[in-house]
Structure 1
Amino acid sequence: MERLRSLFFLKTTFVVSIILSTTSIVSVGQKSQPYENAKDGEQIEPGKPFTGNLNEQKGIAQQPKETSSPFVRLNIGDKVPDITFMHVKNHPGKTIKLSDFKGKLLIIDFWNKWCIPCISAFPKMEELQNKFGDNIQILLVTSDKDQQLQSLFQNSEIIKNTKLPIITADTVLNKLFPHTAVPYHVWIDKEGFVKATLSDYNTNSSTIQKYINEGKADFTKRQDIFSHEIKYGSLLNQLKGTDYNQMQQIQAYTLFTKLNLYNSGSMMLIDTASKRILNFSIVDLFRAAYGNNYLNAGIEEVATQYAHKVPVKVTVIAKTPEARAKYFYPKRSSPGYDAWLNENIYCYEKVFEPSIMKLPPSKRARVQDSLVIMDLERYFTISSSIRNANEKCLVIYRRDKTENFKAKGGEPLQEKTEKNVIRIRNYSISTLTAIIEGYFLAYSGEYPIINETGYEGPIDVDFGVGDRSIEKLDQDLSKYGLGIKEDLRMVRSLTLKEN
């Protein structure tokens, strides 16, 4: 988890779900090799706890331990050393050198005696060899020793009929091309460079033909995982690797984190396939999830409107009075303000499943809205609802036809003087409503603030915030031809109730 925290540079709470579409390490018809526990040699299956050395394979497939070896793992593009192999079958000579196959596409087929799918595929490999002739060479390689293979070679009709060259008792190629399951194929080009590491089903007539014709083929690179932490740990540990970028395989996910230190402000980004909300309180996350016209519109239609804070009445029903504190911003001047931000500000990101993207736009938006709300309710253990209702609001209105509030130009300015007077110059009237919400309400959404002036442009106004009185604010605004009053209006009423 510390690695994840440093990766995202967050104090974070992670992960609801990540859905991947990727080549399985053990696909259908493959058998995963058991591993040796360094302590007692007990075999384990994938997914069970393990503390041994994953590079040591148990039983007949196990490689000899060496304190040092000249053979290190090769990657795509590396030159393969010209190795001589002594344990060979189905070959005219007593030894095989990799350079014997220079000028051909060399396909190494790793197998073991216990792997039924490996052996069952030998006739298919034989057919490919016969079809492409001198253009390719398929080489069957196993780490099993000759003595361990004696019974198999005597009794298996497939083995007895196989004419492909076989290398047994291999201790080198398995180090150059380590893997956790067989069949496992490696393609080496005509000049002896590693071209691909792949699962056996990618070695077929069409891929070989394309490679012969174009020097390339389309298939998914197979990258077996040897780190126990990565192999059996969180999918997040696998997202970045030196040999393979698992990020490319992500199809859908939901992610929660605490305060995002890369972004000092709040932000919401929405497109048809994803939603990203950065640095929002719990209340504002739900307001964003429901959208500003959730009763009549979907997530895509309300994305832009949210920036203007369409009025919402918010009611929070907490289990205890103390529990309410996490829902509402404290005063910026309070000693615990920074600690509150670190504990109660969240980021949320969701990339929707590909199946949802196939829905008609109107239905897709509705489904996306519902999924986001479900995520928030599940994560925060809250029940939420929204309805249209007559609620007490603060209404900004025009007193007369004068327009003394309109901006006269110049540089935009927002400031608070030493006498607790707010000065707004050349900022939109939505700035006025935001400041009123921050200074005159106990919390965001206590009373919706309605702009009924019919004006959305920039304004120049001064007003006091010292006594936080709506009556005094109304007096201050009156000299600009504006007023503010309490009145009932039909608004959206959002209720959050702790479970």
Structure 2
Amino acid sequence: MLNNMKNNFILILLFVLFGVVNNAVAQQPEAALKIGDQLPDFIISKLLNAGTDRVSTEENTGSFKDRLLIIDFWATSCSGCVAALPKMEALQKQFGNKIKVLPVTYEERALVTGFWKKNKYTKVLALPTVVEDNKYKAFFPHEAIPHEVWVYKGEVIGITDADYVDAYNIQQVLDGKTPNWPVKNDYYFYDASKQPLFTPDEKQEHMNSIHTYAAIRGYMEKDGASAAGVFGNTGTVRDSVKKTIRTWFINQSIFSSYATNWNAIVSLKDLVKPSSSIDPNQIVWEVKDPKKYMSQSTLTPDFKTGYRGYWMRENAICFESVKRDTGQTNKDISRGIIADLDSLLGLKVRWEKRKEKVFVLVSTGKKTVISPAQAKANEDVVNSVDELVYKLNRLAKNPYVFNETKGEEKLDLTINSWTDLSAIGKALAPYGLLLKEEERLVDKFILSERKKI
């Protein structure tokens, strides 16, 4: 559909009226290291083994130079970082002295020690962490965590998101294979408010009349880093002199491009569906390959295409349009973007009413005595009605499940299969709950590929 998107773009163009200016790049500190640089030797002054509350001042980065060093920037306030620490320790145990996983935080030792001993993820870990850091962040500045730095035999070979830290990638590096991971650079982004995404025809640069266009192109990056950065990737500018409205977004999935603009038009809470978000079972894919439009967690991890960063490189798009300013509202602008995307991508994306089989959870008032749940391997324990309904609606194959109880019922329910609604219904009966089947007119988010003429 979007062949060779990195080098080409699909363009609906009447005329273009923009000059070329330099890229806007947020500056990193001069000391920042980049891919290919050597990590200097220095003493780690505060290395906390939280399990024993021991601080060592004997560790030197030079001692890591015969190994793969993975620097994991984290903080106690980052729930995702904390939840990943058991995985980090498991990887350290798996690869032994071939690697060094080194969590690093700027936070004070006393805070980290107290947190580590109480948190459910960390209280059983013995993985050392650097505390009160000011050295590592000077070499590897960042704004968003987790932030992962890969150093092999003293050389910086990767700066990535956390999902790249897994056994597969570690083994690839140890086997001598050169990674081509997207670079996590929080300080670079393409400032589309100052420079258009599309270069104008030189003959049109000095024309004074107003011209309009809409265009898309593929993923944008610089030195391996996403042009969107972490500071923003979408915007709207009204030019009071030229009487135009310019809108753009950078490096978004096709699905999120549509969803964002539909959310600006339609109040999701007013639609007939189980939640105020767009859950997987609310989406209807009338397309050959949904993976082109939305990142799928079921992709098999491999060295080329299994991670979100790789998927974004292959499938994300950038969009820009210039329209006459006729006093459009924000909703009008979003409608225009959707119409342009439909035309450029050969799609028709909309909310649509459809009559479907759904399940409705209601109270019967006939609650009986229930024994505490004893979950077996591969079983989940659910503790509330809200949690149950949320998880049921997160599966694309499930019909809508509406919660029409008061939502206050406490559960202690084991779930073996989230798609076996009959079994779940039977398990709910002792709690005074009934999962009944109905037919309702509901709202679905439809993505259709238009037939080529």
Question: Which category describes the TM-score, using the shorter chain as reference length?
Answer: 0.3 to 0.5
Bigger relative contact order (CA 8 A; separation at least 6): 2
| TM-score relative to the length of structure 1 | 0.36
> Which has the greater radius of gyration?
1
| TM-score relative to the length of structure 2 | 0.39
